[in-house]
Amino acid sequence: MENIVIITEEAALQIKDMMKQNETEDAFLRVSVKGGGCSGLSYGMGFAHEVEDGDNQLEQYGIKILVDKESAPVLNGTKISYKQSLMGGGFTIDNPNAIASCGCGSSFKTAIREGTPEEC
């Protein structure tokens, strides 16, 4: 699963900038899925300093990426972009495995994993 997560060049530039601001240039970007949100699953992105057992390791645009083994099948083929607008900027996640998502777009479910839906 070499294309578990695909990061666009714009997203990579933003991530590198965030790493520099947080003085974590040597860190990994951890992308994960956890239970929660209106539809049952939520995305997680953060910086990690250690590889855990079962982590998939990728590298794109010079960014070292970690995806845990539970999240990998749910994220497989997911594209992470960064969009700038008049209202500011933000990451967008396009997951081809999502079969339903909530109105706010921050949670989803897939055919293989429903997660733990919560009230909005």
pLDDT tens digits for 6-42? 999 999 999 999 999 989 889 999 999 987 766 678 8
pLDDT tens digits for 62-83?
999 999 999 999 999 999 999 9
Cα separation of 45 and 61, whole Å?
A: 17
Which pLDDT score is estimated for 87?
79
Residue 73 in any domain: the answer is yes
Out of 26-30, 42-46, 56-60, 97-101, which region has the weakest mean confidence (pLDDT)? 97-101
Provide CB contacts within 8 A for 94, sequence distance 6+.
Answer: 78, 79, 81
Give the domain extent around 28: 5-110
pTM over 0.85: no
Provide CB contacts within 8 A for 22, sequence distance 6+.
Answer: 47
Residue 118 in any domain: the answer is no
Residue 120 in any domain: the answer is no
Residue 117 in any domain: the answer is no
pLDDT tens digits for 102-116?
655 555 556 666 555
CATH number at residue 25: 2.60.300.12
Residue 119 in any domain: the answer is no
Tally of domains in the chain: 1
